[in-house]
Amino acid sequence: MPEGPEVETIRRGLAKVALGRLITDCASDSSRVFHGDVARHALASVLAGARIGALGRHGKFLLVDLVRDGAATGEVLILHMGMSGQLRSSALSGGSAAQEKHAHLVLSFDDGSDIAFIDPRMFGRVEIDVRPADGVLPPSLSRLGPDAIEAPDPLARLRDRATRSSVAIKTLLLDQNLVAGIGNMYADEMLHRARLLPRRPARTLGSGEMARLAAACGEVLNEAVELGGSSLADRTYRDISGELGSFQTKHRVYGREGEPCLECGEAVAREVFAGRSSHFCARCQS
């Protein structure tokens, strides 16, 4: 599932091909990826004739601000990749993105290129919302915590909650309303670097341990962005030109069950916890 670094990689790719482009046509199907007040048939009236303005991201959400007659319309196209969502650009991958299998939304641009939102499993989300003001999150995203990659202190809200929470620290890291953009994979990676067990009750963490977690959070996510995100064995995640990410080669625990811990040589353990697989080293993490 694409997490913050994968969505950031998609955002950067999209900016290269679509920033400022005029949307000449918009085609959508009737799949369940469309949400919110704007019905599918009205999407075209919002998108066609608009230009792609600012391209933002908050957590795992991509935000595309729309511009008409040189001014922001206040409308924003929100995309969430869900489990298997991808964006594909014809300008980079060749051919027409509309020809891709499972393309649910296709935007055609004034230079003859197009982009498609592709999602075989359809847990992704496409929605139109409004910007209350510059930089302020649309109402449908207003509950999200600080962005895990860009916020000056992304774990501020999580730290506040942790002091009175007996739930596991990993559960808090995955709560998008505390910190937005961390999923199962990067949570495991940052907990290993911070030498903390995923199931450790949050309120037992001391300030030094919280500081280690904050440092690990920044390191893991920034390194992942630099390497274009992580593509796992299923190769579901690809960037906008169809290329795979490469941070999976740097994973220390995620997907490495039974392989030696890179720090101490102990076999990496996996346990199902809160319905998700957790990978950790029982010797390095406590």
Q: Give the binding site for Zn ion (CB under 5 A).
A: 261, 263-264, 266, 281, 283-284
Angle at which helices 4-18 and 207-226 cross, to 10°: 40
| 40 versus 195: smaller Cβ distance to Zn ion | 195
| 12 versus 283: smaller Cβ distance to Zn ion | 283
Catalytic residue among 11, 60, 159, 252: 60
Residue with tokens 């300008």, as numbered in its chain: 91
Question: C-beta of 221: minimal distance to Zn ion in Å?
Answer: 21
Closest residue to Zn ion, based on beta-carbon distance: 261
Catalytic, 276? Answer yes
Question: C-beta of 281: minimal distance to Zn ion in Å?
Answer: 3
| 167 versus 262: smaller Cβ distance to Zn ion | 262
Question: C-beta of 158: minimal distance to Zn ion in Å?
Answer: 24
Residue with tokens 């029982």, as numbered in its chain: 282
Q: What angle do CA 107, 25, 31 make, to 5 degrees?
A: 55
- Angstrom distance (rounded) from CA 253 to CA 267: 10
CB neighbours (10 Å) of residue 259? 13
Residue with tokens 């409004």, as numbered in its chain: 130
- Angstrom distance (rounded) from CA 121 to CA 101: 12
| 130 versus 264: smaller Cβ distance to Zn ion | 264
Catalytic, 170? Answer no
| 145 versus 198: smaller Cβ distance to Zn ion | 198
Question: C-beta of 283: minimal distance to Zn ion in Å?
Answer: 5
Question: C-beta of 218: minimal distance to Zn ion in Å?
Answer: 21
Question: C-beta of 252: minimal distance to Zn ion in Å?
Answer: 9
In angstroms, what CA-CA distances link 39 with 42, 51, 116? 5, 20, 18
| 40 versus 199: smaller Cβ distance to Zn ion | 199
Catalytic residue among 12, 200, 276, 283: 276
CB neighbours (10 Å) of residue 19? 13
251 residue type, one letter: H
Residue 208, classified by CB atoms within 10 Å of its CB into exposed (0-12), middle (13-18) or buried (19+), is exposed
Sign of CA dihedral 217, 219, 222, 226: negative
Residue 148: name the closest of 139, 157, 138 by CA. 157
Q: Which residues are catalytic?
A: 2-3, 60, 276
